[in-house]
Amino acid sequence: MRLKRLDRQLRIEGWNQDALDTAKVGVVGDSDLLASHYLLSASALGINRLIVLAPSLNQTYVEIAKKLNPRFDLTHIEGFYTHPVLDEIFKGCNLIADLSHYGLANKLLLQKGYRDNIPMIRGFCYEQYDEQGFKVFTYVRDREWQEIEELVSPNNFPGDHFDDGVLDTIIAGIVLEETKNILMGQEGSQDLIEYTRKKTGASKTQPSTLVIGSGALGIFVGLGLAYLGIRHTTFMDPDIVEETNLNRQVFFYDAIGKHKAETLSKRLNRLFGMESKALTDYFDRETGIAPYDIVFDCVDNFDTRIVLSEKCKAHGKTLISGGTSANEGQVVIYTPENNGPTPANLLGLYDIVGKRKGNIFSRERASCRYRPDPSVIMTNQIVAGFMVDAFRMLLTGQEPANIFYDATSDKRIELRGFAPIGLRPVGPTPRRE
């Protein structure tokens, strides 16, 4: 069962699951969601032993992590990292993820990393003046960085600090990507990974949203909408849950054989008080989108993305389109106000799949089992987080850029107003009809 659950990542060239299975990872957290997000995703990835020092953890996420991965062994020590005597807690750890927001812990952990030759991955979100964003950096001994003070919180002791669930989702994915690289003996990013935008503030509107696709992208988009307090969401997906989904589709731990859209809707309603609905239909040219203000494209084939682009343009709907592979992802946005190129045009999807006539959706359900593309949790939660952040920016009058993520580059994140000619859109190989 374990190998089947992890099947989609085991297909990645050079993947070393044994390195994750046998690792021991330390985590220093704070009184927020970031450490809980990280442990949930680490469990899905198959990292089995975590030592977490934090004042509290989200118990719902802890329970889901244990159900996703029966081998998950979590030791949670309640408290703060405020003295070197606590070093013994992390004895034998292969690395430590510092997700705290107080300078004392940051300094002590950097000293420990240098002294004991243990890699440290620092990740945090911040708010400064009129900006919000996050930073992630991997520190190893003999890799000195001239601006390392940027990683140290200005508040020396634990206390109130800025936190954001949507940004936490992205940070946890990037920190986990760095964790995977270190544990597998691969090189992590040599740069500071950062993202900054203007402060968004709270929106008083309650737009009606349609999320097409309830797999990994759809799950994390739904979670982000829940964090923003968006109640009226419809999830649309005809697929049912399969065991090979469970390395990234975290809310389906006990739902094999059930409809993804229905399961996701029920869980978000129960956990976050959403008033979402589910549709178990295919999205096609006959699907109505008039009731919705914004559409999220979380589908796993290029054909449907073309139809989504065409319908949203024709009906004047905002479209936030996301796509992922094992190492890459993108967020491309269409707004009727700007009336620019749609995601299908921008990414050259017509050239890839050709213009097809008739109803391309009258086929049997093609599930992940029949099209086993390599996939992991990290790119999905990162891209989904950026999709929701773009949505939030639109609600508060900002104009988000298209975002391209590449786990193999040092910078990882690139913001572009357009896609360059020849860009390969991220997503599964088009099916042959």
Q: What is the pTM of this model?
A: 0.93
Q: What is the pLDDT of residue 142?
A: 72
Whether 201 has a pLDDT exceeding 70, the answer reads yes
Whether 113 has a pLDDT exceeding 50, the answer reads yes
Q: What is the pLDDT of residue 188?
A: 87
Q: Are 174 and 168 in contact (CB under 8 A)?
A: no
Q: What is the tens place of the pLDDT at every residue in 256-265?
A: 999 999 999 9
DSSP code per residue over 130-150: TEEEEEEEEE-TT---TTGGG
Q: Are 374 and 9 in contact (CB under 8 A)?
A: yes
Q: What is the pLDDT of residue 180?
A: 98
Q: How far apart are CA 134 and CA 306, in angstroms?
A: 33
Q: What is the DSSP letter of 253?
A: T
Pick the range with the lowest mean pLDDT from 33-42, 152-161, 171-180: 152-161
Higher pLDDT: 24 or 340? It is 24
Higher pLDDT: 372 or 115? It is 115
Nearest to 177 by CA among 396, 376, 423: 376
Q: How far apart are CA 258 and CA 333, in angstroms?
A: 31
Beta-carbon contacts of residue 115 (< 8 Å; ≥ 6 apart): none
Q: What is the pLDDT of residue 390?
A: 98
DSSP code per residue over 371-426: S-----HHHHHHHHHHHHHHHHHHHTT--PPEEEEETTSSS-EEEESSPPTTPPPP
Q: What is the pLDDT of residue 355?
A: 54
Q: How far apart are CA 149 and CA 396, in angstroms?
A: 32
326, amino acid identity: A
Whether 149 has a pLDDT exceeding 90, the answer reads no
Q: What is the pLDDT of residue 362?
A: 42
Mean pLDDT for the chain overall = 91
Whether 421 has a pLDDT exceeding 60, the answer reads no
Beta-carbon contacts of residue 352 (< 8 Å; ≥ 6 apart): 302, 425, 430
Angle between helices 377-395 and 34-45 (to 10 degrees): 140
Under the banding of pLDDT at 50, 70 and 90, the label for residue 7 is: very high
Under the banding of pLDDT at 50, 70 and 90, the label for residue 316 is: very high
Q: How far apart are CA 246 and CA 225, in angstroms?
A: 21
What average pLDDT does this structure show over 136-144?
Answer: 82
32, amino acid identity: D
Under the banding of pLDDT at 50, 70 and 90, the label for residue 337 is: very high
Tell me the two tokens of residue 134. Answer: 């996050």
User: What's the order of all strands across the beta sheet hosting 209-212?
Assistant: 277-279, 233-236, 209-212, 294-297, 318-324, 328-334, 402-406, 413-416
User: 232-245: buried (b, 16+ CB within 10 Å) or exposed (e) per residue?
Assistant: bbbbbbbbbbbbbb
Q: What is the pLDDT of residue 140?
A: 84
- CA-based end-to-end distance of the chain: 32
Under the banding of pLDDT at 50, 70 and 90, the label for residue 203 is: confident
DSSP code per residue over 146-195: TTGGGGS-S--SS------HHHHHHHHHHHHHHHHHHHTT----SS-EEE
Q: How far apart are CA 50 and CA 53, in angstroms?
A: 10
Nearest to 297 by CA among 405, 417, 355, 210: 210
263, amino acid identity: T
Angle between helices 34-45 and 59-68 (to 10 degrees): 0
Domains in the chain, ordered, with CATH? 18-198 (3.40.50.720), 209-416 (3.40.50.720)
Whether 90 has a pLDDT exceeding 50, the answer reads yes
Q: What is the pLDDT of residue 425?
A: 66
DSSP code per residue over 304-332: HHHHHHHHHHHHT-EEEEEEE-SSEEEEE
Q: How far apart are CA 202 and CA 42, in angstroms?
A: 31
Beta-carbon contacts of residue 361 (< 8 Å; ≥ 6 apart): 282, 283, 284, 303, 304
Under the banding of pLDDT at 50, 70 and 90, the label for residue 373 is: confident
Q: How far apart are CA 81 and CA 111, in angstroms?
A: 13
CA 354 remoteness from chain centre: 30
- Other C-beta atoms closer than 10 Å to the C-beta of 104 total 18
